[in-house]
Amino acid sequence: MTLNLRSIDHVVLRVRDMERMVRFYRDVLGARYVAFRPKFNMTHLRVGESLIDLVAADTGAGGRNMDHFCLQVDPFDEKAIVEHLKCHGVETGDVRSRYGAEGNGPSIYLFDPEGNQVELKGPSDGKPPPD
């Protein structure tokens, strides 16, 4: 099996100064504000068809400022993807619906060999982020 990676769905950055970072990405680089989700202390910014998500930094991140990046996979065959990753010795989290650039849809988390967290995302419903 080969995964069909369609595009980068979103990148999540850990930030210390949310307001300053929103102003930079919105006012300087031209990203469009989408929503703030208090439950996650997260701001969604639209960049073309993708998102940049800014989340308040926590002290447990080991100094890294990227939380994870997400790749859209089409088709998203949950069973085949999990089996493919297992065959390559990759442990995965559970598959569940999460918000991405195109709305809510199935996704799964894993780590690359250097410890970067990667999310694989399936088709989405096109709806705005939940509260």
Cis check: omega of the bond before 75, within 30 degrees of 0 = yes
* pLDDT, tens digit, 9 for 90 and up, residues 23-35: 999 998 999 999 9
Q: What is the pLDDT of residues 75-119, one digit of tens each?
A: 999 999 999 999 999 999 999 999 999 999 999 999 998 788 999
- What is the CATH T-level fold of the domain 5-121, as seen in this structure? 2,3-Dihydroxybiphenyl 1,2-Dioxygenase; domain 1 (3.10.180)
Sign of CA dihedral 122, 90, 8, 98: positive
Domain ranges of the chain: 5-121
Tokens describing residue 24:
């930079």
pLDDT value of position 26? 95
Length of the chain: 131
Task: Give ∠ CA 94-85-6 in degrees, rounded to 5.
Answer: 85
The structure tokens listed for 15 are: 């930030």
